Amino acid sequence: MNKQTTPYGLWQSPISPEMLASKSTRYGQMQLIEDTIYWLESRPHEQGRGVIVRSQNGKREDVTPKGFNVRTRVHEYAGGDFWGRGEYLLFADDSNQQLCLQNLSTNSVEFITPEPPVKRSLRYCDGEVAPNMTYTVCVHERHEADDVINELIVVSLSAPFTKQVIVQGADFYSNPRISPDGKQLCWISWNHPNMPWDETELWLADISASGEITNLRKVAGGDNVSVYHPFWSVDNQLYYVADPDGWWHIYRLGSEQPVHDKLDIEFGLPQWVFGCRTVQWLDDKNLVAIGTRQGQQALYHISLETGAVELFSNNWTAFNGQMVTGENELYFMAANPKTGEAVYQVNLQNKQTRQLTESDKDQLEDYISIPQHIEFPTSGNQKAYGYFYPPKNPEFEGPIDEKPPLIVLSHGGPTGMTDNGLNLTIQYWTSRGFAVADVNYRGSTGYGRAYRDSLKGQWGILDVDDCIAMGQYLAQEGLVDGTRMAIRGGSAGGYTTLCALTFHDVFKAGMSRYGVAELVSLSQDSHKFEIRYLDSVVGPYPERADLYHERSPVNHTELLSCPILILQGLEDKVVPPNQAEAMVEALKEKGLPYEYITFEGEGHGFRKPETIIKAFTAELEFYQKHLL
């Protein structure tokens, strides 16, 4: 096919905003119940409704009855929305956050926790049904008039469904897991100002047949160690992931050394959501784990007899932390550069693979830009990393004397990472002739604790430096037009975007999606989970009020000189709309070109198809007007 020569950024593409909206089903929790796999889908065509799906005997079916929406709002980011054992399936219903018990034999559903005094003020997640089937333990979050209280509770699974608090006192709890013999309960807890990737503690207690606990004791963690994903062996030995040596490695309780060779691989993830499982049993002497090495993920086999860590499969390179094993099957959610996220089943004997859900590929294959992992120099004589996506479209090419414009992506968190799994929101740009740089700036996970901790006290500085450095490196390499660079990001990535546009004169335009503009109000108005996050990445407030003022873009709009597009959900509890409104007022006063679009009924992350379509349409028009 002869390609049509057309300026970069003006190419026609089949990857439309409507396609992004229709393809944006989100996969969440995954559970194995009676050797049948269940998972959660958040469906944009049902207004973001959460539906539990199961696959059995080659047949896939919805389990959640109409009228229910499976979604917990604990920590606002949720996860751990459902769990089960035997014929019992428990889930949080979004309408009022009550806990529901569904009988998988009869499909009947009943509420087993009381209606809250205030809408969604009593929340439940991340639970487990006891082996004797008489009770469930789970995380409970109470929203009271002037406080939010997190605790662990036990709820009986027969009428009158009594609810009892069993552990309280810490600021946060996660991962309550009952030993196979039903006699021990473990959990993770942490306190402000720590985030779970800074420091957590692993606790253990004896638990009775009715869910009463005794002999509570801390058994691991603390002292600047982050414990993650505790799990039991069939013989009631406790294992967990922790990073005392600077990498999230796997430990057996009672041993100070990992169960495997010490390698620069992370077997944990930042605990933004509940219910992730990055390590599973293959048999009583072997584990399979999702590992991240230099920001790139794969499945690894770990022998407990030799400690050897070997590649199990690198067919998938991006995982969401959901993985379970059955009697002879491995299930997980993953993607790679050519195939979008899907649910997979792998036979553990012959490694034959079945894809249980649809993914983005096939008809779009010729339009998919394959990323390159880039290491580049940055400030302080350091190195940072990212993925570079060149423009690609089988029908178009750019003029021979022109380099493509660049869109720099700043991921959220900031404690998180970007991966190289197929993401149609990136291909939306590359198929139109934009190059994309997806940056794993200092502070990102997947490169060890030292890299993750390097952003402490430096948010708004080093992350911005790295986004600029990657763009300039690509321009110096002759891959992009350094005079036509934009930056975009959401949430924490929106803050990085606004800082880059305010304090530097490198980018020609930018887009902030529910981004942070003013740090003091964020430190006062954010939700409980993140209310002290800035203590570590900026500094304690009010002791370092000078830094909060200095690094808030809204206070320095006199330095701005380029157009900004701001997108904001009006129900956002994580980054409230007052952040966007403060920035808009400042832009308006200065008379700078900007666009501000709000979305009714949207929170932190856009779910509705009409929102997704409007947002991407507006952003493309914005770049075509101000960047090209």
* Three state DSSP letters for 196-234: CCCCCEEEEEEECCCCCEEEEEEEEEECCECEEEEEECC
**Separation of alpha carbons 525 and 513, rounded Å:** 18
**Separation of alpha carbons 386 and 269, rounded Å:** 18
CB 50 within 8 A of CB 40: yes
Pick left, alpha or beta for residue 107 (phi over 0 → left; psi -120 to 50 → alpha; otherwise beta): left
- The predicted model gives 82-87 an average pLDDT of 98
Q: What percent of the chain has pLDDT over 90?
A: 87
CB 565 within 8 A of CB 497: no
Helix segments in 97-218, DSSP class H: none
pLDDT tens readout for residues 138-172: 999 999 998 999 999 999 999 999 999 999 999 99
Mean pLDDT of the chain: 95
User: Is the pLDDT at 235 greater than 60, yes or no?
Assistant: yes
Provide the pLDDT confidence category of residue 205 given band limits of 50, 70 and 90: very high
Structure tokens at 238: 């406790």
Provide the pLDDT confidence category of residue 591 given band limits of 50, 70 and 90: confident
Length of the chain: 628
Distances (CA, A) of 332 to 31, 278, 351, 353, 377: 10, 10, 13, 11, 35
- The predicted model gives 432-452 an average pLDDT of 98
Helix/strand/coil percentages in the chain, nearest 5 = 20, 40, 45
Which of the four CATH numbers 3.50.50.60, 3.40.630.30, 2.160.10.10, 3.40.50.1820 does domain 363-626 have? 3.40.50.1820
**Separation of alpha carbons 223 and 22, rounded Å:** 46
Query: How remote is the C-alpha of 210 from its chain's centroid?
Result: 35
**Separation of alpha carbons 486 and 33, rounded Å:** 47
Structure tokens at 267: 């077997």
Which amino acid, residue 354? Answer: R
Query: How remote is the C-alpha of 479 from its chain's centroid?
Result: 30
User: Is the pLDDT at 181 greater than 60, yes or no?
Assistant: yes
User: What pLDDT does 277 receive?
Assistant: 97
User: What pLDDT does 362 receive?
Assistant: 55
User: What pLDDT does 225 receive?
Assistant: 98
Angle at 418 between CA 417 and CA 420, to 5 degrees: 140
User: What pLDDT does 393 receive?
Assistant: 98
The residues spanned by each domain of the chain are: 277-359, 363-626
Helices and strands (H, E) in the chain, number of each type:
10, 37
Per DSSP bridges, beta strands 406-410 and 485-490 are parallel
Largest CA distance in the chain: 75
E-assigned strands of 194-352?
A: 201-207, 213-221, 227-232, 238-242, 249-252, 279-283, 286-293, 296-303, 309-313, 318-325, 329-336, 339-347
- The predicted model gives 388-411 an average pLDDT of 97
Which amino acid, residue 164? Answer: Q
- The string of DSSP codes covering 487-554 is EEEETHHHHHHHHHHHH-S--SEEEEES----HHHHHHHS-GGGTTHHHHHT--TTTTHHHHHHT-GG
**Separation of alpha carbons 508 and 519, rounded Å:** 24
| Spatial CB neighbours of 446, under 8 Å, sequence gap ≥ 6 | 266, 292, 293, 294, 295, 296, 297, 417, 440
User: What pLDDT does 360 receive?
Assistant: 60
Structure tokens at 603: 């929170």
pLDDT tens readout for residues 325-378: 998 999 999 999 999 999 999 999 999 999 999 876 557 899 999 999 999 999
Neighbours of 422 (CB within 10 A): 24
User: Is the pLDDT at 1 greater than 80, yes or no?
Assistant: no
The values of phi and psi at residue 381, to 5°, are: 60, 35
Structure tokens at 320: 């969401």
pLDDT tens readout for residues 458-504: 999 999 999 999 999 999 999 999 999 999 999 899 999 999 999 99
Among all chains, which residue has been given the structure tokens 């991962």? 175
Residue 38: strand, helix, or coil? strand
Residue 91: strand, helix, or coil? strand
pLDDT tens readout for residues 597-627: 999 989 888 878 899 999 999 999 999 999 9
pTM above 0.85, yes or no: yes
pLDDT tens readout for residues 546-564: 999 999 999 998 898 889 9
Q: What is the CA radius of gyration of the chain?
A: 24
